[in-house]
Amino acid sequence: MEVIKTSIDGLIIIEPHLAYDERGYFFESFSEREFCEKVMPIHFVQDNESKSSYGVLRGLHFQKPPHAQSKLVRVIKGAVLDVAVDIRRGSPTFGQHVAVELTEENHRQFFIPRGFAHGFSVLSDEVVFQYKCDNFYAPQSEGALAWDDPDLAIDWRIPAEKVILSEKDRHHSRLHDAEWLFDYNMKLY
């Protein structure tokens, strides 16, 4: 796997090495040993999968400590714009984001460490999205930010009138109004 650093420390794009032949392709989608050597020591405990249609926007979500989560995300079918926002007060990149297009063709994965809000918009007719988490889901620790916060200035690459949200995702606060965020000096691992 090739590790590609982004403009925000800790956010990593992973490109797998694919082996092609007349039958199709093969690749190792995850190796804990290689991930720990090249990215950071981590142990994922939960895998999740969602299926969505064009225009669905999920996010921007995070879990608060002690249930904060790192995520390793990828697309099995279709295409998304995957976004991570630094929500660690005091961080030199606080409020900045990285957006990565993940597709079934590029097989890229995106690693989002604890201390970031995460979301994605569906760019294809349909998408099957998978992610690994290093902590179990805990509904009492849910946190989220407004997907359309003008201070974040995220271009989700779908027209606002085509965005499909859950009822819950319609009512999140903007970054500067958030009641709870991470602290840059907080020990998260």
Q: Which residues are catalytic?
A: 61, 131
Rounded to whole angstroms, what are the CA distances from 83 to 41, 96, 137, 150, 152?
23, 10, 20, 15, 11
Cross-strand partners of 7: none
Cβ(72)–Cβ(108) below 8 Å: no
Tokens of 1: 């796997």
Rounded to whole angstroms, what are the CA distances from 167 to 41, 53, 87?
36, 16, 23
**What one-character DSSP code corresponds to residue 34?**
H
Angle (CA) 59 63 64, round 5°: 135
Alpha-carbon distance 93 to 180, whole Å?
A: 17
117, 118, 121, 123 alpha-carbon torsion, rounded to 10°: 140
